[in-house]
Amino acid sequence: MRKMPFVNVGKENSGSIDLHYEDHGSGKPVVLIHGYPLSGASWEKQIPILLDAGYRVITYDRRGFGFSSMPTTGYNYDTFSDDLNKLITHLGLHDFSLVGFSMGGGEIARYFGKHGSKGVKKAVFISAVPPFLLKTLDNPEGVDKAVFDGIQKAVAADRYAFFTEFFKNFFNADLLLGKRVSEYAIQACWNMAAGASATASVACVPTWYEDFRKDLARIDVPTLVIHGDADRIVPLPAAGERTAKLVKGARLVVVKDGPHCVTWTHSDEVNPALLDFLKS
């Protein structure tokens, strides 16, 4: 059994809730926050580039995913941001940057909303869920709740079948398979997803339409938003474009023909944009 680093973030009955993290390199810290239904391992195209550029790179697995504990509680953004805060405190980080992909952008937004910007140097949202994906009277650009309810029902019924279809749209496989992503990379993501907690897989779906508008208003550090214009999971007009407008002075980079998982398919564009922003 390989010994891995963990940080304790709570308890459920007799068991402790521990998050698995990895902490590599030296220099200014960059914390990478993964998307659904993956783990910290999904950053493999970014980690070596950041390490080569002289950063200290920290990844972690959200509760219920990867090698972290799989409790049946805490699947909401207040808890997720508290978990992130506990990791940052545990590692004694300061002058750090937060980079969130998809669901990971929610942790960043709520972190600023709940814990403020002390010690945070920069923020990066990639294909991220903020500001607010649910259609309401004051958010007509959002998605009908019935869509999310349908997804949650499908995950509960047979998450393995759901993930198979989900990843086709995650990578726009009908257009990019064999060009920018292999069937094996998609299979690896499916394996990662299948290893997640069944509870977490279902419980995270309603968190996708959390309202982050007030949280984004509290971001007062340089911010970069990267989003593909062909994102079928979190559409650019509903998410990235609006986040870039809501965060004062944010810079928006639109990846042409980019699917949801631009971190993999278009890493040749995402990585230079990320490095350029972190260095600036």
pTM of the model: 0.98
Q: Which residue in the list 81, 102, 127, 197 is annotated as catalytic?
A: 102
The reply to whether 260 belongs to the active site is: yes
Alpha-carbon Rg of the chain, whole angstroms? 17
Tokens of 201: 């897989």
The reply to whether 102 belongs to the active site is: yes
Predicted pLDDT of residue 3: 87
In angstroms, rounded to a whole number, what is the distance separating the alpha carbons of residues 10 and 71?
10
Predicted pLDDT of residue 268: 98
Using DSSP's 3-state secondary structure scheme, residue 229 falls into coil
In angstroms, rounded to a whole number, what is the distance separating the alpha carbons of residues 270 and 261?
10
For 167, other C-beta atoms within 10 Å of its C-beta total: 21
Q: N- to C-terminal Cα distance for the chain?
A: 41
In angstroms, rounded to a whole number, what is the distance separating the alpha carbons of residues 182 and 189?
11
Q: Which residue in the list 61, 82, 83, 231 is annotated as catalytic?
A: 231
Predicted pLDDT of residue 32: 99
Q: Parallel, antiparallel, or unpaired for β 251-255 and 223-228?
A: parallel
Predicted pLDDT of residue 2: 72
Using DSSP's 3-state secondary structure scheme, residue 119 falls into coil
Tokens of 243: 């986040």
Predicted pLDDT of residue 141: 87
The reply to whether 174 belongs to the active site is: no
Using DSSP's 3-state secondary structure scheme, residue 211 falls into coil
Tokens of 143: 């998605």
- Domains in the chain (CATH in brackets) are 6-279 (3.40.50.1820)
* Contact (Cβ atoms closer than 8 angstroms) between residue 193 and residue 168: no
Phi and psi at residue 66, to the nearest 5°: 60, -135
- Cβ neighbours for 154, distance < 8 A, ≥ 6 positions apart: 161, 162
Q: Which residue in the list 20, 34, 260, 266 is annotated as catalytic?
A: 260
Kindly list the averaged pLDDT for each block of 10 residues, start to end, along the chain of length 280. 90 98 98 98 98 98 98 98 98 98 98 98 98 96 94 98 98 98 98 98 98 98 98 97 97 98 98 97
